[in-house]
Structure 1
């Protein structure tokens, strides 16, 4: 459900851009920058929204934030259809992007809530591919639709999609955030028994909604500006995504301007990106995720850096695809299939980069996953507003070949980033207190998992006829319990809850 919401928002950002000619005819007399901002102003909403919706979801819950933001998201999308001037359209697009951006951060939080580390990679893969399918699907649908009708129907399709999504998911989407569920349970128990119940997060200090909200409102900023890992990965993802957006600018120049394709047919050039994204997901499903699960079961705990090898592969594929596209897109005598094939490694690399980094951040900052993803979304969106302002002029001045080579060089500059994090990530994470707390928690979980594995093996030996093994098993179990009790007194209630869930899940499995 969360992934479908991300798809709706990303389609909404790109689909209307395919109807620019119709919009120019409807609202003539403006400079090119105004028409470019039809997409840019929507992305600008991603700068404002996540810093509100992510903290609020960690106070009021994921479900209520989905409903509270998607109803106005649908309303503003519908309002775009009736806009009578370009200024009204831009204002409505800004608010649609602001409210729609809730899914870009809260979906990652839902995944962190619902899935253990073994399954989280696949779930995050489905989530991560949606922001790239949107720019691939949107121009294709918008291109064909704008050929047969006006921009109003393109905007109407966006509004209808968001309305259907809101109507279907509002009653079906469950609450997943553990502190909110535990607080509701405590309230019901207090009402039923007359006693006072509190969830673990509120045991030390009673819940005060206003103070909690104001504190959580600061979390994305604090993480972005005080956590080196969050700053590094946010910059990396922002540069990768906006480099891809620069590449997308070349598609109409190459296929419509130089190969003289119609807008609808030119939109099909994005299909190669989608194929590459699907290849990346298949690679994650069939190799990366099973290997991660096996290693996790064997060792009990894997550091967040274990998510990065696939990111390194993506970091190499990404600029390779950009370079091939830059030098095969023109002249027109080069067969059209060559630049289309080049978009396959480009799309695969982009998804592998994003998927690895997203999983890395969720593993490293589990209880603040929504706020961490919000910080990244804001960074990407700021650059997403700035880059389009000069991209068209750059391609006009340099031509598709050299402008494409420039974007590839930008991607090459960042290839060392995941390699640095793979070998030095733990050291960088331990520079800050939240990073040290999370890393200490992981190391303790690893010791506990190994102790439980040893206890289980000893239990097997006892069943085979080793009477003394039972006592050793009991001693091991008691040591695990003592270690866990000691740690839960030292860390925050959120980390304590995460520890208990990890140990319980491993014990059951």
Structure 2
């Protein structure tokens, strides 16, 4: 966000407690700022961030930004840890509640199933109610359902409460990344997003270790009790320390406060640009577009299938490791949980590997005047894709009790390393390839991989009883091996494939047109209507029919952008004309990305608004 040009007075510092508890806080500088407009219904004052605005999350201090990044990353680590810690007490659950292994495993599967549907609801709700409100309410319910699990008297109650805990606890998967993107500009958020993205991958590897020792020492109820206490502590931290970071909600609240104080009409710049959407409209698009992209875009479909298989294999391990290490080797639950240390070490190495990769990418960005092709993001995924089957085959043929346990545990390192590289690299590729639709792409990815994560543990016991520990462990390895060509093919031919995919082509056309608009802004004092570039227009037209019918009037697309610029000299839109070309690539910004209609129409052509 940007305020007006020119020298500005130093903005007053807002006490931190007011940042957290008062979303409508205003200072004298905010009240007296010369907003564009006349303060009427037809020409409202346009509320923007003032220069040096201490309430703008982008202006938070580095210490505060990183502290909040750690806090929201802990929320994703927490929910991932809860998903797998249950496995440490499964043997006791079966014994005390008299359930079979397959039914008891539903406690993992249904929890992960909640991940498939929860983010589709919580992400758009954060647009309307703010990230802080969604965080605090859902984590409160997560804590309550975890406590309920600890007191469950039968397996039915336990697995139902586990599903509800997973559903409500899944809000950080969209909200945490969004909060980070709210605070860091695109060029500086690479490491922060890497830490956030790695947390839900490392959490499942830590969970069985904690759950195993707690389960063997204090019983499975204390496993669930500890999870309730842990999530409760995180909930309290969110309530006390997490301020609202979502700019559209903050500016909307500020406009409401200024209207109350002055009696005049103030409206958020973002609401004027995009239009204020209802929760129903937001949810409708958020629930439908991810599936549309998943099944109509080959890029999205293949990468989502690949990541879903890997994610499913990770959760298969929570059912397979007790068989391999506890039943075959005779280890107890606590020592058996340590078998996940190999995977955890590999994940940590993978996260460290991404740091120089991020710096290399930033260097490439500085050396070019345009946007780098998305395929530049894929080399780490190729390395990871090769490491995955190596680790899985290594584990499959060294997990016999006659072979030292260290060999099979060490096999987890290349698997964990490859998993992190593939996930982070492909995430970045999908974001860069789909920009304006990246929230929907990430939602589709999250939903599909959660479905696989829920399904894979259910057939693990049948797989191992029928094939034995060697060949049963080889099946996931063969699946990972079959997927190795996917990142290689897209690295070599991705640019050609994207041109044939309607949504990817439109996203590329949008970004090219935006770059041209930015160049015009640099060269000219007053913006003018930019004529469409034939090559760019060709990339976004002649696409397959799309049935989306949501209102086009609020789309911040490349096409209507030029019209907003042409209206800049008329009313309070004068300030918008200077800022409309600034598109900060926030992959979690549901308001901008996930709830606005594509310019792909039912007639299969990009339409002007």
Partner of 1:389: 458
Distance 2:266 2:531 in 1: 23
Alignment length, in residue pairs? 476
Corresponding residue SS for 2:189: helix
Distance 1:362 1:379 in 2: 17
**CA drift at 1:248:** 4.2
- After TM superposition, the structure 1 stretch with the greater mean CA deviation from structure 2, 96-105 or 190-199, is 190-199
Whether the 8 Å CA contact 1:121–1:359 is kept in 2: the answer is: no
Change over 3 Å in CA distance of 1:188–1:228 after alignment to 2: farther
Give the structure-2-normalised TM-score: 0.72
Whether the 8 Å CA contact 1:109–1:369 is kept in 2: the answer is: no
Q: Which runs of 5 or more structure 1 residues have no equivalent in the other structure?
A: 452-474, 504-509
Corresponding residue SS for 1:21: helix
Give the structure-1-normalised TM-score: 0.85
Partner of 1:361: 430
Change over 3 Å in CA distance of 1:99–1:369 after alignment to 2: farther
Distance 1:303 1:407 in 2: 32
Partner of 2:381: 311
1:38 aligns with 2:107: yes
Show the 5 A alignment for 1:449-464.
Answer: none
Distance 1:201 1:411 in 2: 44
Change over 3 Å in CA distance of 1:489–1:259 after alignment to 2: closer
Partner of 1:464: none
Partner of 1:490: 558
2:90 aligns with one of 2, 16, 20: 20
Superposition RMSD in Å: 2.9
Partner of 1:458: none
1:102 aligns with 2:102: no
Whether the 8 Å CA contact 1:311–1:357 is kept in 2: the answer is: yes
2:392 aligns with one of 316, 319, 322: 322
**CA drift at 1:446:** 5.6
1:161 aligns with 2:219: no
Distance 2:354 2:524 in 1: 37
Partner of 1:240: 310
Partner of 2:127: 58
Partner of 1:170: 239
Deviations 1:1-21, CA, capped at 9 Å, x for gaps: 221111111111111111112
- After TM superposition, the structure 1 stretch with the greater mean CA deviation from structure 2, 82-91 or 245-254, is 245-254
**CA drift at 1:199:** 3.5
1:152 aligns with one of 221, 230, 245: 221
1:256 aligns with one of 326, 351, 371: 326
Whether the 8 Å CA contact 2:437–2:507 is kept in 1: the answer is: no
Show the 5 A alignment for 1:261-410.
Answer: 261-285=331-355, 287-300=356-369, 301-330=371-400, 332-366=401-435, 369-410=438-479
Deviations 1:242-272, CA, capped at 9 Å, x for gaps: 1232344332222222332222112111111
Partner of 2:9: none
**CA drift at 1:420:** 2.4
Corresponding residue SS for 2:243: coil
Distance 1:221 1:112 in 2: 24
Q: Greater helix percent: which structure?
A: 1
Change over 3 Å in CA distance of 1:7–1:418 after alignment to 2: same
Partner of 1:454: none
Distance 1:41 1:476 in 2: 52
Change over 3 Å in CA distance of 1:247–1:205 after alignment to 2: closer
Distance 1:210 1:130 in 2: 30
1:209 aligns with one of 256, 273, 278: 278
Whether the 8 Å CA contact 1:273–1:347 is kept in 2: the answer is: yes
**CA drift at 1:311:** 1.0
Corresponding residue SS for 1:329: coil
Distance 1:164 1:320 in 2: 39
Q: Which runs of 5 or more structure 2 residues have no equivalent in the other structure?
A: 1-70, 533-555, 565-575, 586-609
**CA drift at 1:416:** 1.4
Change over 3 Å in CA distance of 1:293–1:486 after alignment to 2: farther
